[in-house]
Amino acid sequence: MSKEKKEKMAIGVKAIPFTIVGHVLGIAGAVLVLVWVTHFRGGLAWEATNKSLIFNIHPVLMLIGLIIIGGEGIMSYKALPFKKEVKKLIHLGLHGIAIILGIVGIYAAFKYHNESSIVNLYSLHSWLGIAIISLYGIQWIYGFLVFFYPGGSTTIRSESAPWHVLFGVFVYVLAVGNAAIGLLEKLTFLESSGLAKYGPEALLVNFTAVVAILYGAFVILSVVSQPPQEDDYSAI
Ligand code: HEM
Ligand code: HEM
């Protein structure tokens, strides 16, 4: 894609202020989900007789892994003043960590279901979840093969770049939406077994989703705004 075309799709302001707000929201989201599971839901465990502790691993890893570390992976191209080779490594590394934590987080949800005799994959949230982790994996492998190793030709790289950005943003927005659905679903389960609708825990869970959505908005703002040094930003 030519530079002129790319600039038309972007807004003319610097990304740095957006990425700074993004980091702050990311830290806030991580703190909120950890406070929720530790203070209100009894903490985290991989093996336990109280199976809810196994479930708790799921929101923590999905939010901190796929959403927050994945979002940092996307923002790294616009947030950091390094050379493009360095940023590429950081981008692919953070997305690699995001996928691994996402897979372990989904495994924890299945483990909780299986050990509590609850059926698997019955909800929209779980179907979207499988689609998201699969698309995220495909995006990572394609990105790795074309932009990193062995690397496509200059034509393939420059023609792939806008698709990579579009597909990446699409999958990421889906993931943020699905995290909000997951928080809503869990809170609804808890409320139907008696949790106060306006109580502190309900507010905390809802605000965690609000913070996650705002974080996603700032990640996307970074994608459509300008890198720190114009010359330093190129796909290929
Ligand atoms: C983008 C991030 C997320 C993805 C990709 C995802 C994916 C999944 C998947 C695949 C399952 C199905 C497990 C099974 O059938 O055994 C599941 C279950 C579940 N997840 Fe998530 N999840 C995400 C975030 C969250 C968050 C933040 C919460 C908040 C608590 C949550 C709550 C739940 C609940 C309550 C279940 C069990 C009920 C059900 O299967 O729908 N999820 N998730
Ligand atoms: C699932 C994981 C991935 C997602 C969700 C993703 C998403 C994105 C997004 C949204 C952008 C746009 C950033 C911006 O313009 O500010 C981007 C750029 C880029 N990504 Fe990825 N990416 C992933 C994995 C990879 C991998 C493994 C590589 C391999 C090196 C890679 C290489 C690149 C390159 C070179 C650019 C710059 C494209 C350009 O100049 O227009 N990505 N990625």
166 CA from centroid of ligand 1 (Å): 25
* Predicted pLDDT at 2: 44
Pocket of ligand 2 (CB under 6 A): 74, 77-78, 88, 91-92, 95, 136, 139-140, 143-144, 147-148, 161, 164-165, 168-169, 171-172, 222-223, 234-235
pTM for the model stands at 0.94
Ligand (nearest to CA of 128): 1
> Please, what sign has the CA dihedral across residues 67, 226, 140, 91?
negative
One-character DSSP codes across 169-207: HHHHHHHHHHHHHHHHHHHHHHHHTT--TTSHHHHHHHH
* pLDDT of the residue at 3: 47
For residues 196 and 202, the answer to whether their CB atoms sit within 8 Å is yes
The answer to whether the CB of 43 falls within 8 A of the CB of 53 is: yes
Phi and psi at residue 226, to the nearest 5°: -90, 140
Show the tokens assigned to 114: 């299986």
- Distance between CA atoms of residues 206 and 187, nearest Å: 8
Q: Give phi and psi for 104, each to the nearest 5.
A: -65, -40
Would you give the DSSP letter of residue 226? B
3 state DSSP class of 14: strand
User: Cα-Cα-Cα-Cα dihedral of 83, 84, 85, 87, to 10°?
Assistant: 90
Q: What is the pLDDT of residue 229?
A: 74
Partners of residue 14 on adjacent β-strands? 226
- Whole-number Å distance, alpha carbon 123 to ligand 1 midpoint, is 9
pLDDT digits (tens, 9 = 90+) for 132-177: 999 999 999 999 999 999 999 999 999 999 999 999 999 999 999 9
**Which residues in the chain show pLDDT less than 50?**
1-7, 231-233
What local confidence, expressed as pLDDT, does residue 8 receive? 53
Count of Cβ atoms closer than 10 Å to residue 92 Cβ:
18
Domain boundaries, given as residue ranges, for the chain: 8-232
Q: How far apart are CA 176 and CA 173, in angstroms?
A: 5
Residue with CA nearest ligand 2 atom 23: 140
CATH fold for the domain made of 8-232: Four Helix Bundle (Hemerythrin (Met), subunit A) (1.20.120)
**What pLDDT is stored for residue 96 in this prediction?**
98
